[in-house]
Amino acid sequence: MRPQARAVLSMISAIGTFALLGGCMADAGAADFPAPEDYGTVEQLVADADVVALVEAGDAAVDVVDGVPYTRTELQLRKVLLGAVAKNASLAVTQVGSASSPAGGGLPAVLRAGREYVVVLHRTEAGEFEVVGPGVWRADTLGTSLTLHTAMLHCVPAAIPHVTTPWDLEVQLGKAAESLGTSVIGSD
């Protein structure tokens, strides 16, 4: 291949990468939603989390503040994977966006009632949480597969699993917890 052709292909590749990444950033800003922190690994998610748990999404309500919708969803705790939460605790998560006005790039998609998720949560007050990172893992109907549920999947780094199994995710969480010296996996 000629050096000029190689240079043109390299430039096209660089522009494509910039456009893809720029699209992730531009989308979050265009929707007027606050941009989330960048997380590149499961360890970074765990470092900012208070709780990682398997939950079922329940009833939800939307409040609009300064033109931005926020959805508060009640959660039924199925299993605590990391952190500490009382077994019968009342939990709720507040997320930017709503079913009719989804969040932009880099933000988790709003949880849907009746679906099970593995969520990485930061406590904002007693029983109230926000999602850490760009998404949550939605469980399939048999509970054998977890798929990252996010507004823009292509914006999420590959080191954060897009599709995994509950076992593999627990192993990754365990390794992250061990390296960070945090809570034991699997406490109920």
Summarised one tens digit per residue, pLDDT across range 116-173 is 999 999 999 988 999 988 889 999 888 789 998 887 788 788 888 999 998 898 888 8
Q: Residue 25: is it exposed, middle or buried by C-beta count within 10 angstroms (0-12/13-18/19+)?
A: middle
User: Could you give the CA distance from residue 51 to residue 124 in angstroms, rounded to a whole number?
Assistant: 12
Check residue 187 and give its pLDDT.
Answer: 40
pTM flag (> 0.85)? no
Q: What is the mean pLDDT of residues 2-22?
A: 41
Check residue 114 and give its pLDDT.
Answer: 93
pLDDT greater than 70 at residue 97: yes
Q: What is the mean pLDDT of residues 94-119?
A: 83
CATH among 1.20.1250.20, 2.30.330.10, 2.40.50.120, 3.30.1130.10 for 42-180? 2.40.50.120
Mean pLDDT score across all residues of the chain: 77
Check residue 113 and give its pLDDT.
Answer: 92
Share of the chain above pLDDT 90, in %: 28
User: Could you give the CA distance from residue 96 to residue 107 in angstroms, rounded to a whole number?
Assistant: 8
Q: Is 125 helix (H, G, I), strand (E, B) or coil?
A: strand
Summarised one tens digit per residue, pLDDT across range 37-65 is 678 888 888 888 899 999 999 999 999 99
Q: What is the mean pLDDT of residues 16-21?
A: 38
Strand partners, 72: 61, 94
pLDDT greater than 70 at residue 24: no
The dihedrals phi and psi of 100, each to the nearest 5 degrees, come to -90, -15
- What residue spans define the domains of the chain? 42-180
* Contact between 39 and 108 (Cβ < 8 Å): no
Q: What is the mean pLDDT of residues 18-43?
A: 55
pLDDT greater than 60 at residue 21: no
